[in-house]
Structure 1
Amino acid sequence: MLPDNRTLPGHRPDSRPDPAGIIGIVNDSAEPARKTISFAALLRDLREARSLTQQELAAAAGVSVDAVSALERGRRTQPQPHTVRALATALQLRDADRMALLSTLGRAGDAALEMPSRKLTPRTPSPPSVEVVGRDDEVAEIVAALGTTPGRLVTLTGPGGVGKTTVALAAAAVMAAERPGAVYFADLTDVTEPDDALAAVAHAAACAAGTVTGLAEHLAGTSALLVLDNLERVTACGPHLAELLTASPDTVILATSRVPLRVRREREVRIAPLGPGAAERLFGERLAAAGAPPRGRADDRAVAQLCRQADGLPLAIELLAAAAARLGPRALLERIDALRELPVAGPQDLPARQRTMAATIEWSRRMLGPAARRLLPRLSMVPGSFSLDTVDAIAAPDTADAVGALAELIEHSLVARADDTGPVTRYRLLEPVRRHAVETLEPADREHVRRGVARWALRAGREHGARIRGRGDMTAVEQVETDRHVLRLGFDHLVDTGRYDDAAELLWSVWLPLWMTGHTHEALAWTDRLHENDLSEHGRARWLVARAGSNRVAADLFTTAERAMRLAERVDDASLAAEAAIFASAAALRLEDFDGSQTLLARAEVLMKKRLDVERDVWAAVHVPIGYGDGALLRGDRAAAVRHWRAAADTAQKLGSEFSVPAVLAECAQAARGEGRLDDAAVMLAAAAELSPRQDERLRTHLAGVAAAVAADLGDVASAQWWEGVAGSEPAPDSARLDERFRELVRRAGTVSGRD
């Protein structure tokens, strides 16, 4: 009710408010003109004069309580005409009262005075403006979902530019044959209030009523399909749509939105970027449509790379194709990293928010909450995929709920789940999103990210290194492989900020898994960023071990490993000294210093037994017998070599380690093949096959791939093709057959090398 010290001019206890008095147009000679009352204040006074709560008025008008609250607080100052009419009807205003309420809105009130036309024209969806490429499966899924989803509400979600509207229109065209004259299209791009969404839908269906009840009555018996485009700004209208479907059992709704509506009736269908084949086909069609000359093979390769830059987003592909039609695909590819915007404007028949990828992404970014908006550009610093641990490191300490912010970015389709099968779930930004977001990163945020990643990298490197050396944990090897780009970012920051010993520790922690996954060049590049004069003795020993392990030149490897061993012994790090001795032994073997190699391996054994708990250093315990086996092989004693490798596998098993001796032998076989020692490579592969678990499909595939390469080097084309089949998708032959083929490879290699 009104405050005690305030009365409405002209208001009498036994009558309704006098609108003329309310809006202050009474102006006789005895009293000056009163100040005009706003729409917000007048609506509140009228509601309270009728003893209605906001909830009761909202229910009577068919609008949300939030809408009534926003209007009465003045937060929403330009209500839609249908909303004003609904409120006036719910308040049961007489003509004079209605005129008073509407007059406070100026022109908007004049529009509300006009009764809607009795004859409205329905709006039906147009077919897609361009040929739909690579979406047959999605269209079929949507049509099926609309026919079988209990809630009869299907929402297409996905990143901006992925083609949600195009797919929806294609699906609507299929369904139009089953629902003639009852397919309606409403574009809700410019609608910002949930209550106005229903009125826009009603208008598209040629319905004068802007309420759920009125629209349901209008659609009764028509089996209507409502195609609602761009709902992301008014997802709060979801309950209205659910209520409409309850009241109109024959109606189905197909919506597009960058985020789901989050109602129980909803079936979400995510529209993914195009695969490589479809992306390149779309690029070619858009090139041809722009009048580009026919492409050659070099252009085909450039187009494939440009499609990868677009990450399969049809809008990005279309924009790149338009630029490539003018500049040529190869020239565009050469300059793409230096271009913040493409030199050719997007199609003018697209909305302004879709004429550049930057505008499309910005449209999504503006709808984010503060935490997600802050996290997005930070994530853009990470090339490739990242884990939740990385997100925590990047977000902290000023984002309390990093997981919640990431979930919001995923919901808005700015971050996607990465396509990986590893033990840890990973995420990534689509490349166009990353390229745009990194441009918005503030310098302070950039440093914040680098510091956070460096902290995480050092901690993760220590953990992974301990798990690999201590337990032979191959899962940790895989994690270093997938996170190496993030680890590199942290390593670079440690170097750039002068934390050289920390950088050397991180390098030593991860160089071994980098070596085991074939990234020795990367590990060597890391070592080149450090200079031994900047390091303490302990840091220098770690740096030398990593450099020795990454070095391919035997003489340099031996010298480096020997220096590392001496330094490690001086700082009393027996584990590091044993590791260095094992490398020095391997280098001595390659220099054909067999006695020196044996001496160094014996030294490594002494270090392990004297100073180490062997269960904390499985890597060294297993590599000593592997080293003895390598020495026996180079001396021509294959039987002794296999005995030592079996001993290494037995040691790993005894210690309960996951360390894979066969995987190490496969890498050694690769190295022997590179040195032209095809006979030794074949022996190592045969031993690896004998020692490997038969159920390890990944290892079997790797061994078969190396065997195919060795057979090809031997000139045995038929065998190379057979091994390639085993490495591919063909069913694996039984164990006996595989063992026989490996023995054949050993005999063939021995014959060619003259060792048999």
Structure 2
Amino acid sequence: MSRTAGIVGQHNLPEDLTSLIGREPDRIQIGGLMAAHRVVSLVGVGGVGKTRLALAVARTAVLDFPDGIWLVELGSLIDGRLLSGIVAASIGLASSPRRPVIETLIAAFGSSRVLLVLDNCEHLVQACAELVERLVRSCSHLQILVTSREPLGVPGEVVCQVAPLATPNETVLSVEQLLEIDSIRLFVERVQAALPGFSLSEANAAVVAQVCRGLDGLPLALELAAAAVKVLSPHQLAARLDDRFKLLVRGSRTAPVRHQTLESAVAWSYDLLDPDDRHLFDLLSVFTGSFSLDAVEEVCGFDPRSPLDSLARLVDQSLVLTTSDDAGDRRYSLLETLRAYGRERLRERGEHALLHKQFTLWVLGRAEEAGAALRGPDQAPWLRWAEREHDNIRLALEWAIASGDADTALRLVSALWWSWLLHDRWAEAHEWLERALSMPEAAPRTLVRGRALQGAGATAGLRGQYALAQAHIDECLAIARDLDDETLLLAGHSAQALLFQQQGMSEDAQPHVQAMVDLARQLGRPWYEARAAEFVASRALRTGDLSAAAAELEHALRLARAAGDSWNIAMLLGQLGDVERMRGTHPRAAPLYQESIRLFQELGLREDPSRVHNLGYVALAEGRIARAAELFTQALRLFRRAGDQRGIADCMIGLGCVRAGERRPAEAARLFGAAAEALEALGSAVWPSNRADYQHWERIARAAMGTHAWDDVWTSGRAHGIETIVNEVLSTEWMGAPPVNPRAISSVDELTPRELQVAQLAARGLSNRRIGDTLVIAEKTAANHLQNALDKLDVHSRSELAARAVELGLAPAQN
């Protein structure tokens, strides 16, 4: 072509005045697509940065297109009939009045290697599609890069979705970690351009993260927000995001009009929709998070006409995002900025209140279906449903509470509290239950209040708030008796038995356990009967009757298997693992814990911290001390996230055992002391299944220090409190502490609890027969355990064992 032929590097691309952040992987991907396809369309929501990305790709491709790269900006063009002329003008091509412009373009491009960048095609999709198809068919080496809010839909087109920049989740991150996230980097850099003294700091990091997350990582929104920091602090900006369209109005004066305010950017896309699609877009703003097609059909009132066609068009035009759930079904979502825009339009239509009511009724209906299924064979799909719809459930609860609809609020929390606990949302479950129960309209002693009280009591107990839990359970049982409702009575007895078990009050739990058994059989509720058997087993464990505990657990397991109750099966397998651990047969416990974890994963639940914690003791018994530390720390993080104070204390004990195994007795004493203080504050004690392991490692560490020194450090740990020590444990410094020289570690940590008992008695001079009599085992069994112990300790005789008893941790040091 006349202007460009033979001149390498010719283009009309504007210079970039600011840095392009976070798009290097996209640029590489698009370059790869262009190497294989002649028409590549960058598609995404308005303000996501399609134009900037296309220009960056084009600049790096200058040498690949010796006949030129030409940008054609279409944002201001209204009439698609003028499209060919705009393209010709952009590349400096004179047209002839006696020849159609399209033919002039075809003749000019010919077989030249040219890249044409068509920017902002969404309002001229039909005209652009016709032009692109004609040019590509006629010009063998022409390539076209398109930016649009929807694909052109021409043969050979490949679509690249341009997503917003990555945003931080709600996890607390350091300043250094946040500065590795693209949306944060963009915001900070743009603020610094306006306020050179600005920096990300511990003081503002959380609110900057909130701003970037709240603005969906949209580059345009972030740049507008950064401009606003000249008059508002990040804290003020974050507090005003609900009014984002009035707030973010100070864009660049030289930017296109549609990019000078956030509202104009969204309105540009919205105004291109037909009336039906606009209406659906507005209706979809009632959802938060993601939603399904079924939800749209039921909530938005499209029956019998399906919204699928309109929904598909909204997806094509980048106004609705799509993902797939774990079953492969499509789910949809709106960026928060788009949702806010649709919500305003919905209010203008006067449909907001009615739609929220329909939405809440839909959530309630599904939630009660879920609640009825969570303890039976259909629990897996409903547990997944509850987690997928959690954001929408929150919204329905907020609406019910704000509107004073206590019946709906109580029914929702009653249906879903159990799912929240299983998904480790303990703190949130507690908050919703307490908020619903404290509503003035929730005061009457109704059946639905009683069900919510059961959930509130169980949740408070699991969080270590025993007095509050007891108050809720007392009221729950009183309502059940007043209403003569046996199902609620069964639930109340279950909550009370669990609370007593958590406090180590097995005897007090027994009348409630027996009531559970009687009512569960009478009402045909195998879930509760299996739970009752587990409570009986726990009592047996506390008294050391392992055979009785195993028998009860096996009975409960049969009930759970017959009912298809995977959650109970997983729990009971874990408890059978506890029995094996208490017997000292840790290798037999491991597969039971692992199968339990597998079943939890099949239910769509997060890793169960109790099983992870228990595997820590298995690893410790097998001499894998580093692995034990990893498992206890992992469980600690999970327990802490759930707000499980009891679990946190258990992990402190486990990590104390790790330090004992590493021959760091002072650190072990400090961890044990902190855990003891925490358990005492909860009114609890060391869990029966952990007692033998704890006593084993505590004895080794105490012997290494001597009683007086041990007591001093143990007391220091109590005084520091568990929160301080947990923070230390989770710090990089604690986790990164250098390992102890393996040669300084005795093999006593490899002994099973039974081998340890036999070795201790042998070190005191007892014969195999007397050891057998003392431990109630056969003389031959005692001999076998002693030989195993001698082999593991690398000790060759009884006399050597007795001489080295203190050194090996088999006898206390003399003070």
| Aligned match for 2:436, one of 522, 529, 542 | 529
Where do residues 512-523 of structure 1 align in structure 2 (5 Å cutoff)? 512-523=418-429
Q: CA deviation at 1:385?
A: 2.7
CA deviations over 1:265-302 (Å, ceiling 9, x no partner): 21111111112412222223222322431413323443
Q: CA deviation at 1:454?
A: 1.8
- Give, in whole Å, the separation in 2 of the partners of 1:722 and 1:384: 33
Task: Tell whether the 8 Å contact from 1:555 to 1:591 is kept in structure 2 after alignment.
Answer: no
Say which SS state the counterpart of residue 269 (structure 1) adopts: strand
- Give, in whole Å, the separation in 1 of the partners of 2:24 and 2:540: 60
Q: CA deviation at 1:311?
A: 1.5
Match of 2:449 in 1: 540
**AA of the residue aligned to 1:383:** T
Task: Tell whether the 8 Å contact from 1:532 to 1:540 is kept in structure 2 after alignment.
Answer: no
Say which SS state the counterpart of residue 165 (structure 2) adopts: coil
- Give, in whole Å, the separation in 2 of the partners of 1:722 and 1:645: 29
C-alpha distance 495-519 of structure 1, shift in aligned 2 (>3 A): same
C-alpha distance 213-505 of structure 1, shift in aligned 2 (>3 A): same
CA deviations over 1:457-476 (Å, ceiling 9, x no partner): 12101211122123261332
- Give, in whole Å, the separation in 2 of the partners of 1:330 and 1:502: 35
Q: CA deviation at 1:362?
A: 0.8
CA deviations over 1:79-132 (Å, ceiling 9, x no partner): xxxxxxxxxxxxxxxxxxxxxxxxxxxxxxxxxxxxxxx999997222434222
Q: CA deviation at 1:303?
A: 2.7
- Give, in whole Å, the separation in 2 of the partners of 1:524 and 1:128: 52
| Aligned match for 1:174, one of 55, 60, 67 | 60
Select between 203-212 and 478-487 the one with higher mean Cα deviation.
Answer: 203-212
Q: Which structure has the greater CA radius of gyration?
A: 1
- Give, in whole Å, the separation in 2 of the partners of 1:466 and 1:129: 60
CA deviations over 1:236-282 (Å, ceiling 9, x no partner): 02133212211111111111001111222211111111124122222
Q: CA RMSD in A?
A: 4.1
Match of 1:583 in 2: 495
C-alpha distance 703-490 of structure 1, shift in aligned 2 (>3 A): closer
- Give, in whole Å, the separation in 1 of the partners of 2:269 and 2:224: 19
Select between 275-284 and 203-212 the one with higher mean Cα deviation.
Answer: 203-212
2:317 is aligned with 1:412: yes
| Aligned match for 2:295, one of 378, 387, 390 | 390
2:306 is aligned with 1:401: yes
Task: Tell whether the 8 Å contact from 1:159 to 1:258 is kept in structure 2 after alignment.
Answer: yes
| Aligned match for 1:303, one of 205, 208, 214 | 208
Task: Tell whether the 8 Å contact from 1:578 to 1:607 is kept in structure 2 after alignment.
Answer: yes
Task: Tell whether the 8 Å contact from 1:708 to 1:721 is kept in structure 2 after alignment.
Answer: no
C-alpha distance 472-644 of structure 1, shift in aligned 2 (>3 A): farther
2:373 is aligned with 1:485: no
**AA of the residue aligned to 1:184:** W
Q: CA deviation at 1:702?
A: 3.9
Select between 363-372 and 407-416 the one with higher mean Cα deviation.
Answer: 407-416
Q: CA deviation at 1:577?
A: 3.1
**AA of the residue aligned to 1:466:** A
- Give, in whole Å, the separation in 2 of the partners of 1:516 and 1:634: 25
Please give the TM-score of this superposition, normalised by the length of structure 2.
0.66
Task: Tell whether the 8 Å contact from 1:354 to 1:360 is kept in structure 2 after alignment.
Answer: yes
Match of 2:126 in 1: 236
**AA of the residue aligned to 2:488:** L
CA deviations over 1:662-715 (Å, ceiling 9, x no partner): 36898999xxxxxxxx99xx999979615516587687954489529989xx9x
2:278 is aligned with 1:373: yes
Match of 1:557 in 2: 469
CA deviations over 1:468-512 (Å, ceiling 9, x no partner): 123261332232133233223334545566654444333321121
Select between 651-660 and 136-145 the one with higher mean Cα deviation.
Answer: 651-660
Q: CA deviation at 1:312?
A: 1.5
Match of 2:356 in 1: 450
Say which SS state the counterpart of residue 282 (structure 2) adopts: helix
Q: CA deviation at 1:176?
A: 1.7
Task: Tell whether the 8 Å contact from 1:457 to 1:491 is kept in structure 2 after alignment.
Answer: no
**AA of the residue aligned to 1:445:** E
**AA of the residue aligned to 1:485:** D
- Give, in whole Å, the separation in 2 of the partners of 1:629 and 1:481: 31
**AA of the residue aligned to 2:411:** E
Q: CA deviation at 1:386?
A: 2.6
2:534 is aligned with 1:626: yes
Q: CA deviation at 1:145?
A: 1.6
C-alpha distance 667-425 of structure 1, shift in aligned 2 (>3 A): farther
C-alpha distance 297-505 of structure 1, shift in aligned 2 (>3 A): closer
- Give, in whole Å, the separation in 1 of the partners of 2:47 and 2:477: 57
Say which SS state the counterpart of residue 160 (structure 2) adopts: strand
C-alpha distance 365-662 of structure 1, shift in aligned 2 (>3 A): same
Task: Tell whether the 8 Å contact from 1:155 to 1:254 is kept in structure 2 after alignment.
Answer: yes
- Give, in whole Å, the separation in 2 of the partners of 1:137 and 1:708: 42
2:192 is aligned with 1:288: yes
Match of 1:124 in 2: 12
- Give, in whole Å, the separation in 2 of the partners of 1:415 and 1:155: 18
C-alpha distance 666-288 of structure 1, shift in aligned 2 (>3 A): farther
- Give, in whole Å, the separation in 1 of the partners of 2:231 and 2:589: 53
Say which SS state the counterpart of residue 247 (structure 2) adopts: coil
Structure 1 regions of 5+ residues with no counterpart? 1-117, 670-677, 729-740
CA deviations over 1:382-405 (Å, ceiling 9, x no partner): 333333333234311589333333
2:44 is aligned with 1:163: no
Match of 2:375 in 1: 469
**AA of the residue aligned to 1:478:** R
Say which SS state the counterpart of residue 132 (structure 2) adopts: helix
Where do residues 699-714 of structure 1 align in structure 2 (5 Å cutoff)? 701-703=607-609, 707=613
- Give, in whole Å, the separation in 1 of the partners of 2:59 and 2:399: 54
**AA of the residue aligned to 1:146:** M
C-alpha distance 668-583 of structure 1, shift in aligned 2 (>3 A): farther
Q: CA deviation at 1:561?
A: 3.2
Q: CA deviation at 1:220?
A: 0.7
**AA of the residue aligned to 2:384:** E
Task: Tell whether the 8 Å contact from 1:501 to 1:535 is kept in structure 2 after alignment.
Answer: no
Q: CA deviation at 1:542?
A: 2.2
C-alpha distance 351-720 of structure 1, shift in aligned 2 (>3 A): farther
Q: CA deviation at 1:536?
A: 6.5
Match of 1:153 in 2: 39
C-alpha distance 656-592 of structure 1, shift in aligned 2 (>3 A): closer
Match of 2:146 in 1: 255
Structure 2 regions of 5+ residues with no counterpart? 168-180, 637-653, 659-689, 701-752, 754-815
| Aligned match for 1:226, one of 116, 120, 131 | 116
Task: Tell whether the 8 Å contact from 2:187 to 2:223 is kept in structure 1 after alignment.
Answer: yes
Match of 2:333 in 1: 428
C-alpha distance 687-207 of structure 1, shift in aligned 2 (>3 A): same
Q: CA deviation at 1:165?
A: 0.6
- Give, in whole Å, the separation in 2 of the partners of 1:423 and 1:235: 31
Task: Tell whether the 8 Å contact from 1:645 to 1:661 is kept in structure 2 after alignment.
Answer: no
**AA of the residue aligned to 2:307:** A
Task: Tell whether the 8 Å contact from 1:227 to 1:253 is kept in structure 2 after alignment.
Answer: yes
Match of 1:509 in 2: 415
- Give, in whole Å, the separation in 1 of the partners of 2:605 and 2:391: 24
- Give, in whole Å, the separation in 2 of the partners of 1:370 and 1:153: 31
C-alpha distance 654-702 of structure 1, shift in aligned 2 (>3 A): same
Match of 1:3 in 2: none
C-alpha distance 413-579 of structure 1, shift in aligned 2 (>3 A): same
C-alpha distance 481-181 of structure 1, shift in aligned 2 (>3 A): same
Match of 2:732 in 1: none
Q: % of aligned pairs identical?
A: 26
Aligned residues: 608
**AA of the residue aligned to 1:261:** L
Say which SS state the counterpart of residue 410 (structure 1) adopts: helix
Task: Tell whether the 8 Å contact from 1:544 to 1:560 is kept in structure 2 after alignment.
Answer: yes
Say which SS state the counterpart of residue 133 (structure 1) adopts: coil
Q: CA deviation at 1:167?
A: 0.9
